[in-house]
Amino acid sequence: MIGPMRRALPFALLLGCSDPGVLEHFLAMEGTYRDVRISDQPDDLHVLRGTVLERLNFQNEAVDQFDTEDPISDLADVDERDLQRGPRVLVNAEDGLYLVETTRADRILSAEDTKIYGARTRNGGILTLEDHPEDGCGLRWYDGVQALEAAVSLPDDACLDTATIHVDRDSADAFVVTPTRTWAATPGYDPLTWEGGGDLSAFDPAHRIVAVATRGETETRAWDLFGSEAFFTDLGQAITDLDDLGVAGTFLYGTSPGVNGRLVLLSSLDGTVLHAEELPRAPVRVRGAEVGTPVLVGLQAELHLFEYTPTGTP
């Protein structure tokens, strides 16, 4: 441990790390996966293996298992706020947007001639980025029974295949991020847009800031809903993945400084490094829980979980 710590320290000091939190490894699980999310109630994981969507507990046992039998592009979002209904996973598939509940899947929006990307929003609602042949590209907010609440038109270049969307679950404000441009939208208002984007992005709900990065590059930047830059940071290492840590107000970066890897935690307010954890490999996935802990790191065929305690927490 001394070696990795010694290597991490100058890096942290270089980037102005002044208030490091405590990150403690507590679990390692074996398995291959295509995508993974931490549950809102952070005692299990949603893992995509091929066409099978599994909910795993921390003993690597499948609590629920559902085979979609169709190609899934990714796990769009996880919503477990309605405890009576249990966990529900929003899934982007080729033919539409699915809501998977335990052992059943409902196609809630068809994508026969439409590209759809979805995210969960307030009161069980859904935000989608849709590219219609006639209506063009736009954001649409649906309520809990999939009735259209609001819509905002966007230029066609917002509906690229590489676009990602993020939504504030409380206000329903949304971001659309493409590799070169970012849009911020509020229901009922004209969207704002500015130059800058990336194929990786994450939304921090604590400070309502979106961070972007490009896989393989070293720089990251972030903006608020009005397009004001929150920070610009050069991590000095190729970025492999990006996510947020929910209420902790922290962005998570997987980086590849060379042979090994790093997990870097940045403050979403000013981009200062809160913690840099040495890893034996470059992380393929980093994921944060909405409640601020744990942090998940995917290393090839293993999943590792860390408990994060911000400095100052009693």
Partner 1 sequence: MNRVSAQFAIGAIFAGLTCAALSPNNAFAGIDPEASGFRGAIGPLLRSDRGTPPGLKGGLAIEAEAPVVWRFAVRMDFVTGMASQDQLRASGPTLGILPTFRQPLGKGQAPRWALDVAVGPTLWFGKSTWWEGVYPGPFPGFRGVGGVEYRPHSIVAIRAEGGTDHNYGTLPLLNGSAHGWDARLLVVARQPTNP
The residue (of 16 and 280) whose beta carbon lies closer to partner 1 is 280
Cα distance between residue 211 and residue 218, in whole Å = 13
Tell me the C-alpha distance between 41 and 197, whole Å. Answer: 31
Work out which of 29, 105, 158, 273 binds partner 1, going by CB under 8 A.
Answer: 29
Complex with partner 1: residue 36 or 160, whichever CB lies closer = 36
| Residue 193 and residue 204 in contact, taking contact as beta carbons nearer than 8 Å | no
* 196 binding partner 1? (CB under 8 A): no
Q: Which is nearer to partner 1, 2 or 145 (CB)?
A: 2
CA–chain centroid gap for 15, Å, is: 24
Q: Using the minimum distance from each CB to partner 1, give the nearer residue, 4 or 227.
A: 4
| In the complex, least distance from residue 237 CB atom to partner 1, rounded to whole angstroms | 17
158 DSSP 8-state letter: G
26 binds partner 1 (CB under 8 A): yes
Q: Does 275 bind partner 1 (CB under 8 A)?
A: no
Q: Does 147 bind partner 1 (CB under 8 A)?
A: no
89: its two tokens = 């996973």
- Look at strands 285-288 and 295-299 and give their pairing: antiparallel
CA–CA dist 20, 310 (Å, integer): 7
User: Is residue 150 close enough to count as binding partner 1 by CB under 8 A?
Assistant: no
Residue 74 near partner 1 by CB under 8 A: no
User: Does 278 interact with partner 1 (rule: CB under 8 A)?
Assistant: yes
Element (H, E) at 140: strand 136-142
Residue 102, interface with partner 1 (CB under 8 A)?
A: no
Among 27, 63, 151, 206, which residue interacts with partner 1 (rule: CB under 8 A)? 27
Q: Is 167 an interacting residue with respect to partner 1 (CB under 8 A)?
A: no
CB proximity list for 155: less than 8 A, separation 6 or greater: 137
Q: Residue 238 is inside which H or E element, if any?
A: strand 238-244
Q: Which is nearer to partner 1, 32 or 110 (CB)?
A: 32
Per-residue interface string for the shown chain with partner 1, residues 289-308, x marking contact by CB under 8 A: ----------xxxx-x----
| CA gap 159, 183 in Å, rounded | 11
In the set 41, 60, 171, 218, which binds partner 1 (CB under 8 A)?
60
Token pair recorded at residue 151: 């819509």
Q: Does 22 bind partner 1 (CB under 8 A)?
A: no
| Backbone φ and ψ of 13, nearest 5° | -65, -40
- Is 81 an interacting residue with respect to partner 1 (CB under 8 A)? no
Label residue 189 left, alpha or beta by phi (over 0 means left) and psi (-120 to 50 means alpha).
beta
Question: Which of the ranges 52-60, 93-101, 154-162, 172-180 carries the binding residues for partner 1, by CB under 8 A?
Answer: 52-60
| Shortest spacing between CB 265 and partner 1, in angstroms | 16
- Binding status of residue 114 toward partner 1 by CB under 8 A: no
Gap between the Cα atoms of 212 and 73, Å rounded: 21
Q: Select the residue interacting with partner 1 from 19, 24, 67, 135 (CB under 8 A).
A: 24
Contacts to partner 1 from residues 206-225, by CB under 8 A: none
DSSP string, 48-83: EETTEEEEEETTS-EEEEEE--S-EEEEEEEE---T
Positions in the binding site for partner 1 (CB under 8 A): 1, 4, 24-30, 58-60, 278-281, 299-302, 304
